[in-house]
């Protein structure tokens, strides 16, 4: 019989180490492929839409199935589901290395996302079940948030280092030893826990959530191809809205719902969740563009491009734990609002980036502001989401919501910002290369990687200038979108996010269940 880890037992901090290793593994894959996007463009002939799907194939499946992953952990045991997810992640990572086309790689990434959806919510739910003292729990959440932020930031660095010495398949093969280590350590250290509530699988809820998220992301990515006002785009958004409304109505009627949507009636829960979603929307969207900027516009190799994003990791890692200290001093509202305002300032600085902008000037200032702001948002907002839960039986659902809004925000960030860039870039390239054959212009307008390849074959530097200028215009437009989103989030947090947690310092112990 696995017992709850006592508050005085130092083993709880080893549990945190294992959970952080597991979440690091699946979080890194959100961005590890970004630095490889130009490589995929050259070797697989991927268009801008194809590159978006290589990134979002993973995050879409990840986001769409997180609620199911949290539910399965609550029902069958969080450690058991965590371990199953780690095995699946290793297997699907290997399958992704066998891809020969963009479509095959997107399918492999989607399969990895399915496994990640089992791992991610289990880590936070197990953390909540393990740390029963509220102050220790807040500290542990600060560490967990720092790791998730670090993972997003070090993905491009890791990818760049691997691509410098190995083929692109190495960015997936590296997952295998890490998954094996997390699997063994989890089996030895992490205790089992599950919700005390019953209830069968909410199949209708699963289908509704997948349909709503899937239609929303697909429509956004494909909107530049179909047209933002086309019947296909309008129908896609309408379908997503109908699916979401149906999901909410269904969940309100169920005794044991996939997601207790009544939780969103608590402003602490809903506004904190929204803040996380908007912060990751902006971050993922910007990283999608900046890695291409470093390689295509600045001419960095894959390793240099990855290292250029390292300030994200350093600043997030330093800021996230400190944000918990600041939260205790001045409250959640002030810290989250300040974080989103800081991020908005960073994107505003980035919007003025030019081809010759000094890295140790505008570029580094922008990244430090973004990363520092993200660190201020994620730890206090995550603590607010989990602290708003009424019982530990809701830990899986709360974790899944926290993780879902993070992934949906990031997925939509790549989709929206990438689509904004494509909407600006494509017409500018077609107009700027008006003297070239139509087929050549269309190829160049497909993606900045394709545009750079076309420019290399055109005598003189005019074509290259057109491609760079068009991309920089798209980067600027995307950065302003990110700045506006963060500013809106800051205003919402300032208006509606409660400053403090409700009274109480202790939470119920987890329900013990048989090990194995």
Read off the DSSP letter of residue 166: S
Closest CA to 127 of 15, 31, 4, 40: 15
Q: What is the pTM of this model?
A: 0.80
83-128 tens-digit pLDDT: 999 999 999 999 999 988 889 999 999 999 999 999 988 998 898 8
Confidence of residue 137 (pLDDT cuts 50, 70, 90): confident
Closest CA to 344 of 279, 265, 276: 279
Is the Cβ–Cβ distance between 81 and 74 less than 8 Å? no
* CB < 8 Å & 24+ apart, contacts of 239-245: 239/211, 239/215, 240/211, 240/212, 240/213, 240/215, 240/216, 243/208, 243/211, 243/212, 243/215, 244/208, 244/212
In angstroms, what is the C-alpha Rg of the chain?
A: 22
**Alpha-carbon gap, residue 415 to 216, rounded angstroms:** 10
Confidence of residue 152 (pLDDT cuts 50, 70, 90): confident
Confidence of residue 392 (pLDDT cuts 50, 70, 90): low
**Alpha-carbon gap, residue 212 to 237, rounded angstroms:** 9
User: Which of helix, strand or coil describes residue 506?
Assistant: strand
Q: Let me know if 435 is exposed, middle or buried by CB neighbors in 10 A (0-12, 13-18, 19+).
A: exposed
User: Which of helix, strand or coil describes residue 39?
Assistant: helix
11-202+254-496 architecture in CATH? Up-down Bundle (1.20)
Q: Which residues contact 276 (CB under 8 A, 6 or more apart)?
A: 377, 378, 381, 382, 385, 402, 405, 406, 409
48-65 tens-digit pLDDT: 778 888 888 898 888 888
Closest CA to 357 of 293, 269, 264: 293
247-275 tens-digit pLDDT: 999 989 888 787 778 888 888 889 999 99
Supply the pLDDT for residue 196. Answer: 58
Q: Domain-by-domain residue ranges, the chain? A: 11-202+254-496, 203-253
Q: Which residues pair with 506 in a beta bridge?
A: 133
């Amino acid at each position: 019989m696995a017992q709850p880890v006592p508050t005085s037992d130092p083993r709880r901090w080893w549990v945190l180490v294992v959970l952080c290793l597991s979440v690091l593994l699946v979080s890194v894959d959100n961005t590890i492929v970004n630095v490889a996007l130009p490589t995929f463009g050259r070797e697989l002939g991927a268009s801008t839409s194809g590159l978006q799907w290589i990134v979002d194939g993973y995050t879409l499946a990840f986001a769409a199935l997180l609620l199911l992953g949290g539910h399965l952990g609550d029902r069958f045991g969080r450690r058991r589901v965590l371990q199953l997810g780690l095995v699946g992640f290793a297997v699907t990572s290997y399958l992704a290395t066998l891809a020969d086309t963009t479509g095959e790689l997107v399918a492999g990434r989607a399969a990895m996302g399915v496994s990640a959806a089992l791992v991610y919510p289990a880590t936070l739910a197990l953390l909540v079940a393990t740390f029963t003292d509220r102050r220790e729990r807040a500290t542990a959440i600060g560490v967990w948030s720092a790791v998730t932020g670090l993972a997003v930031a070090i993905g491009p660095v890791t990818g760049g280092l691997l691509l410098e010495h190995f083929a692109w398949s190495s960015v997936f093969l590296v997952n295998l030893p890490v998954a094996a280590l997390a699997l063994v350590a989890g089996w030895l250290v992490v205790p089992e826990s599950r919700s005390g509530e019953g209830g069968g699988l909410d199949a209708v809820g699963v289908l509704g959530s997948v349909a709503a998220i899937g239609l929303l992301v697909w429509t956004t990515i494909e909107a530049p191809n179909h047209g933002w006002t086309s019947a296909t785009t309008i129908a896609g958004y309408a379908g997503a809205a109908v699916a979401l409304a149906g999901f909410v109505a269904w969940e309100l009627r169920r005794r044991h719902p996939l997601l207790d949507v009544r939780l969103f009636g608590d402003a602490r829960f809903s506004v904190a969740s929204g803040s996380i979603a908007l912060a990751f929307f902006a971050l993922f969207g910007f990283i999608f563009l900046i890695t291409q900027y470093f390689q295509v516009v600045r001419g960095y190799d894959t390793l240099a491009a990855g290292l250029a994003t390292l300030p994200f990791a350093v600043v997030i890692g330093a800021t996230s734990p400190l944000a918990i200290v600041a939260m205790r001093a001045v409250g959640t509202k002030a810290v989250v609002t300040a974080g989103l305002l800081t991020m908005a300032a960073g994107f505003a600085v980035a919007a003025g980036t030019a081809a010759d902008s000094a890295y140790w000037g505008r570029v580094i200032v922008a990244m430090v502001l973004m990363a520092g702001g993200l660190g201020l948002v994620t730890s206090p907002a995550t603590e607010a989401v989990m602290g708003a839960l009424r019982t530990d039986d809701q830990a899986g659902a709360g974790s899944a919501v926290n993780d879902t809004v993070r992934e949906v925000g990031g997925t939509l960030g790549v989709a929206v910002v990438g689509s904004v860039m494509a909407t600006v870039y494509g017409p500018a390239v077609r107009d700027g290369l008006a003297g070239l054959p139509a087929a050549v212009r269309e190829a160049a307008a497909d993606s900045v990687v394709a545009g750079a390849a076309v420019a290399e074959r055109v005598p003189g530097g005019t074509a290259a200038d057109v491609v760079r200028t068009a991309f920089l215009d798209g980067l600027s437009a995307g950065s302003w979108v990110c700045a506006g989103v963060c500013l809106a989030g800051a205003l919402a947090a300032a208006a509606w996010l409660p400053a403090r947690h409700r009274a109480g310092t202790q939470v119920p112990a987890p329900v013990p269940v048989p090990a194995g």
